[in-house]
């Protein structure tokens, strides 16, 4: 009987094993995860779950018993310690399991602050998994002071939660502006104004020199020479693909586990999907850190394992919730040279162009602009910029 082993019990791993069963695979399926919780949603961790608005069970993608009902073996709280890709086996401690197909859905790991600047002090957190958020949740007490390192979406979401819970929030971003790596200055300006209106102290062009404390952080020294007394620290300084096991297996690495358009790695019988995988996209190679990508790519791999031979066509989209604003992003803005602003009394959207070609849309509380922008990008249609800039124009007519 054929055996598929999936390493990484997150959104991609869960999607892969369920798709295998639903597509008619009748062999053995094993899903292995280092965490003790069953596969769960990560986006609400830094939002509703941290705010106390979502209970643990609602995070779970499916209840424990679902996997047993589908004849999927869940091995949680276990770590793969070895892989022999020639023999097609993996090791979990002293136990050896054979596979016919192996899927890496190992996700990504948060960058942590270096020990040399106090990153190992108590009271310093990252936002990635359930244990991270559970550990920091008791720190969120009104009037305490939290320092957030990093002005990307994770840092800004954590800042919004802390401010809503009545904490004093200072956010530092080493780059010239928040969201500099991922968004246009217009989007940065929008969210800077939003956060400042809720009392968040945003300091741009300022980094962290070191954290101060004996065993627990009590203060932070910044690169501009100022020292802040802090009660705890959250580091939102990015993530890296989790590739250690893939390297052990001998897989080729290129900004993640290098796969072809069908999800195959460079090693026969080994596949990858989700945050950990890089894949061909419009003449280049990218890695997408998003829930939609994790689901779509994992399901594609599952169908290809049972013979479909489909190629992955990514349709990038993302979202972020901060205060009362829902940001929805369609497309990838890489290489843009012009941003068109479309602003009404209640909505704002920024449209990224390269020459006359529409690349991406950032839509704030504007689901219509997001949906139409997404459909235009997927159809490779690029409306005249003057039409987009006119808030009275009918976007729907563009379709």
pLDDT of residue 1: 81
| DSSP E strand stretches across 282-324 | 284-286, 317-322
The answer to whether the beta carbons of residues 152 and 236 sit under 8 Å apart is yes
Separation between Cα atoms, residue 165 and residue 367, nearest integer Å: 27
Q: CATH assignment of 112-235, given 3.40.50.720, 3.40.50.300, 3.50.50.60, 3.30.360.10?
A: 3.50.50.60
CA distances from 215 to 122, 127, 131, 211, 315 (A): 6, 21, 21, 11, 46
Question: What is the DSSP pairing of strand 357-364 with strand 348-354?
Answer: antiparallel
Token pair, residue 377, equals 């990008």
pLDDT in tens, the chain (399 residues): 899 999 999 999 999 999 999 999 999 999 999 999 999 999 999 889 999 899 999 999 999 999 999 999 999 999 999 999 999 999 999 999 999 999 999 999 999 999 999 999 999 999 999 999 999 999 999 999 999 999 999 999 999 999 999 999 999 999 999 999 999 999 999 999 999 999 999 999 999 999 999 999 999 999 999 999 999 999 999 999 999 999 999 999 999 999 999 999 999 999 999 999 999 998 999 999 999 999 999 999 999 999 999 999 999 999 999 999 999 999 999 999 999 999 999 999 999 999 999 999 999 999 999 999 999 999 999 999 999 999 999 999 998
CATH 3.30.390.30 residue ranges of the chain are: 324-398
Identify which of 359, 322, 344, 338 has the alpha carbon closest to the alpha carbon of residue 394: 344
Place of tokens 């069953």: 38
pLDDT attached to residue 388: 97
Domain 3-109+239-305 grouped into CATH 3.50.50.60 = yes
> What is the pLDDT at residue 399?
87
For the chain, give every residue range classified as CATH 3.50.50.60.
Answer: 3-109+239-305, 112-235
pLDDT attached to residue 197: 98
Instruction: Please answer whether residues 288 and 282 qualify as being in contact, where contact means their C-beta atoms are separated by less than 8 angstroms.
Output: no
- Give dist(CA 80, CA 95) in Å, integer: 10
Strand pairing partners for 233? 124, 147
CA distances from 32 to 45, 65, 83, 289 (A): 21, 16, 14, 21
Strand partners, 220: 211, 228
Q: What is the rounded distance in angstroms from the CA atom of residue 340 to the CA atom of residue 372?
A: 15
Residues 6+ apart with CB under 8 A from 294: 10, 11, 12, 15, 105, 273, 274, 275
Q: Which CATH number fits domain 324-398: 3.50.50.60, 3.30.360.10, 3.30.390.30, 3.30.9.10?
A: 3.30.390.30
Backbone angles phi and psi of 364, in degrees to 5: -105, 115
Sign of the dihedral defined by the CA atoms of residues 302, 260, 111, 245, in that order: positive
């Amino acid at each position: 009987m054929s055996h598929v082993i999936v390493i990484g019990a997150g959104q991609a791993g869960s999607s892969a094993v369920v798709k295998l069963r639903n597509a008619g695979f009748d062999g053995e399926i094993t899903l292995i995860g280092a965490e003790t919780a069953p596969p769960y949603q990560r986006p609400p961790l830094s939002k509703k779950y941290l705010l106390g608005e979502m209970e643990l069970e609602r995070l779970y993608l499916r209840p424990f018993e679902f996997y047993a009902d589908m004849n999927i073996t869940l091995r949680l709280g276990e770590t793969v310690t070895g892989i022999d890709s020639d023999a097609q086996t993996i090791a979990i401690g002293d136990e050896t399991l054979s596979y016919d197909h192996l899927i890496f859905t190992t996700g990504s790991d948060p960058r942590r602050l270096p020990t040399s600047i106090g990153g190992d002090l108590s009271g310093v957190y990252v936002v990635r998994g359930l244990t991270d958020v559970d550990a920091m949740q008791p720190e969120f007490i009104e009037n305490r002071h939290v320092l957030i390192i990093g002005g990307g979406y994770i840092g800004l979401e954590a800042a919004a939660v802390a401010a809503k819970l009545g904490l004093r929030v200072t956010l530092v971003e080493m780059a010239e502006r928040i969201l500099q790596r991922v968004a246009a200055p217009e989007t940065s300006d929008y969210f800077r104004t939003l956060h400042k209106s809720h009392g968040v102290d945003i300091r741009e062009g300022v980094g962290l020199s070191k954290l101060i404390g004996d065993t627990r952080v009590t203060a932070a020294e910044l690169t501009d020479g100022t020292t802040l007394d802090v009660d705890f620290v959250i580091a939102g300084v990015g993530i890296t693909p989790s590739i250690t096991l893939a390297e052990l297996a001998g897989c080729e690495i290129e900004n993640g586990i290098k796969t072809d358009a069908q999800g195959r790695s460079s090693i026969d019988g080994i596949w990858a999907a989700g945050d950990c995988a890089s894949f061909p996209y419009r003449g280049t190679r990218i890695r997408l850190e998003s829930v939609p990508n994790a689901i779509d790519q994992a399901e594609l791999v599952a169908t290809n394992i049972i013979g479909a031979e489909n190629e992955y066509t990514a349709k990038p989209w993302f979202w972020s919730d901060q205060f009362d604003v829902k940001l929805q992003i369609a497309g990838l803005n890489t290489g843009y040279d012009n941003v068109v602003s479309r602003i009404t009394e209640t909505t704002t959207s920024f449209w990224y162009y390269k020459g006359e070609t529409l690349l991406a849309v950032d839509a704030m509380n504007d689901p219509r602009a997001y949906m139409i922008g997404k459909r235009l990008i997927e159809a490779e249609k690029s409306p005249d910029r003057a039409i987009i800039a006119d808030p009275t124009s009918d976007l729907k007519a563009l379709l």
